[in-house]
Structure 1
Amino acid sequence: MKSTGRERTVMRLAVPNKGRIADPIIELVEAGGLKIENSHTRKLISRTSDPEIEVLFARPIDIPEYVAIGAADIGITGRDMVLERGSVVDEILDLGSGAARLVLAVPEDSDIESAEDLDGKKVATEFPGVCEKFFEKRGISVTLVPVGGACEAAPYLGIADAIIDLTSSGTTLATNKLRIVDEILSSTTVLIGNPDARKKYADKIDEFSLAIRSVLSAKGQRYLMMNVLRDNLDEVRSVLPGLSGPTIMDVASDKGMVAVHAVVSEEHLYSLISTLKRAGAKDILIVPIERMIR
């Protein structure tokens, strides 16, 4: 790990200070149990509820390089940012959130139908590093026009024939009368680490990763509890989609009754409850799951 000043005695986590993925990342970290002091102010360095971890708030595009040079030991940002910077980091965990595509788009009335049609033309983008590799690999000669924002306006301002930009739903592109002609890459939010720091803080990184995974595993899941007559147990079990169950326990006050517990997907609950009721379940409780460790 390269030296960046005085030796730190705590692990440093870099998270975005702004942008579309900033709030979801901070919410995820805190849902995992790591509370960030004054997270709403997002000052450069903040302490956390764990005295062995501090948080560095930084621009998403800067996080890969901060992690690579050791200014931070681990960080959370978009995979597109890691690829754009070309930083040498380890990908520890794909969070699966913040999904977006980096696409090549042109005005709706353009006669450009493919990347090859851009040979000799101009392309505006916030991702010149990724784009240069994309066009070089295809043997296409373009002039890249780096922009810092409002990329969609570039063709209409006459500064570019096409753009390469991130899109989640495609709505912004459609609103600006742009159509997609190619996809460069897909991106999600990832947890990355400095290769040397992963050795120095191995236990602490594993602890943090487990906390994050437990929150991600719990998303969309509910804990279902009910009482069932023993005579109806087989029918209830046949309609109950549990992850690894269900768990069945005796009810001390009624030997003819058992308690059934299971983790089920939220998307199944709407029709499942009435089905369970018809199968003989009663006293049904549905409880949110904050974290789940498998």
Structure 2
Amino acid sequence: MNNSAKLRIAIQKSGRLSEDSLQMIKECGISFKNGIGALKAEATNFPMEFLLLRDDDIPGYVADGVADIGIVGENVLAEKQRDVVVAHKLGFSKCRLSIAIPKSEPYEGVHQLDGKRIATSYPKILETFLRNNNVQAEIHEISGSVEIAPGIGLADAICDIVSSGSTLFTNGLKEVQPIFQSEAVLISRPDMAGEQRALLDKLLFRIRSVQAARNNKYILLNAPESKIEVIKSLIPGMKSPSILPLAEPGWVSMHSVINENDFWEVIEKLQAEGAQGILVVPIEKMIL
């Protein structure tokens, strides 16, 4: 591979998505120096250059070939409709695009939006949702502070990103109709090949290892020999658990990996089968 080849990645310059993206890059073992206010940065131990941009601009930069890859929310990607491909879903910065109305108003279904004025920064996603539900509504496209639109008489409802819902509540609104689920995704140019493609594959290998580690825990426990088979069925591991004899006759130490989603249910079952001294340890990297 040419030593001068680099992978240019576009990342949001500030905000939660930026923090989560850079944290993932660090967990992939990639170091970089980013001065305050800088819009470019270089990795020190991986052939990668960072472009720090507005999130709305990232799909365009990737589609136009200025950046090879980018990290952006699916909501922005769907709204911009640029010629890029989703290389990998990243599992963080999850949110939803929802319709909200004043708290004092009842909501009886999507048909209630017919003939209403809806303010949003995502007119294309909203238009698609309304069309699919045979609703005729007037869309007002505005940028920023969408939640104040009903209060100043600009709209009857809004369509905006929701995470906790606290901003809606503060502005006298309530969420009534989720229309789009979003998370961060890694996007790339559709024609990527050669050295850039090889670098992307290396990066994806690291990302998958980090994600697998986040989703799993390493578990160690002591168990009676008579319970080995039943406990093996509870903690199968990637292939099967490691089993080591203990100094105390009739007991073994078992080591395995369990999924984060199954964690508490598995622990309860292990205790019921006589497992003792259960230790659960975070995994930094997990190579599948």
Tell me what 2:241 maps to.
246
Which of 173, 185, 200 does residue 180 from structure 2 map onto?
185
Tell me what 1:47 maps to.
42
| Structure 1 residue 110, shift from structure 2 partner | 3.6
Specify the SS of the correspondent of 1:124.
Answer: strand
Distance 1:234 1:134, change over 3 A: closer
Q: Distance in 2 between matches of 1:272 and 1:15?
A: 43
Q: Distance in 1 between matches of 2:242 and 2:11?
A: 39
Which of 17, 20, 31 does residue 21 from structure 1 map onto?
17
Q: Does 1:215 align with 2:216?
A: no
Tell me what 2:254 maps to.
260
Distance 1:116 1:263, change over 3 A: same
Q: Distance in 1 between matches of 2:160 and 2:112?
A: 18
Q: Deviations over 1:136-191 (max 9, x none)?
A: 45554443322222211110111111100011243432343323343321111111
Letter in 2 for 1:21: L
Q: Distance in 1 between matches of 2:237 and 2:218?
A: 10
Tell me what 1:160 maps to.
155
Tell me what 2:54 maps to.
59
Which of 66, 82, 100 does residue 105 from structure 1 map onto?
100
Tell me what 2:32 maps to.
36
Distance 1:271 1:256, change over 3 A: closer
Q: Does 1:292 align with 2:286?
A: yes
Tell me what 1:3 maps to.
none
Aligned partners of 2:75 and 2:182 also within 8 Å: yes
Tell me what 1:196 maps to.
191
Q: Distance in 1 between matches of 2:116 and 2:25?
A: 43
Letter in 1 for 2:90: L
Aligned partners of 2:30 and 2:46 also within 8 Å: no
Tell me what 1:10 maps to.
6
Q: Distance in 2 between matches of 1:9 and 1:263?
A: 37
| Structure 1 residue 240, shift from structure 2 partner | 3.8
How many residue pairs get aligned? The number is: 282
Q: Distance in 1 between matches of 2:108 and 2:224?
A: 65
Specify the SS of the correspondent of 1:101.
Answer: strand
Aligned partners of 2:215 and 2:259 also within 8 Å: yes
Letter in 1 for 2:216: Q
Which of 131, 143, 152 does residue 148 from structure 1 map onto?
143
- Which moves more between the two structures, 86-95 or 111-120? 111-120
Task: Give me the TM-score of the superposition, normalised by structure 2.
Answer: 0.83
Q: Distance in 1 between matches of 2:54 and 2:221?
A: 48
Aligned partners of 1:16 and 1:57 also within 8 Å: yes
Q: Distance in 2 between matches of 1:200 and 1:207?
A: 11
Q: Distance in 2 between matches of 1:156 and 1:264?
A: 49
- Which moves more between the two structures, 11-20 or 266-275? 266-275
| Structure 1 residue 257, shift from structure 2 partner | 6.8
| Structure 1 residue 285, shift from structure 2 partner | 4.6
| Structure 1 residue 109, shift from structure 2 partner | 2.8
Aligned partners of 2:223 and 2:253 also within 8 Å: yes
Q: Distance in 1 between matches of 2:75 and 2:39?
A: 23
Which of 115, 119, 132 does residue 124 from structure 1 map onto?
119
| Percent pairwise identity | 33
- Moved beyond 6 Å, runs of 4+: 253-257
Q: Does 1:71 align with 2:85?
A: no
Letter in 2 for 1:264: I
Q: Distance in 2 between matches of 1:71 and 1:57?
A: 12
Q: Distance in 1 between matches of 2:143 and 2:279?
A: 51
| Structure 1 residue 270, shift from structure 2 partner | 5.5
- Structure 1 regions of 5+ residues with no counterpart? 1-7
Aligned partners of 2:5 and 2:196 also within 8 Å: no
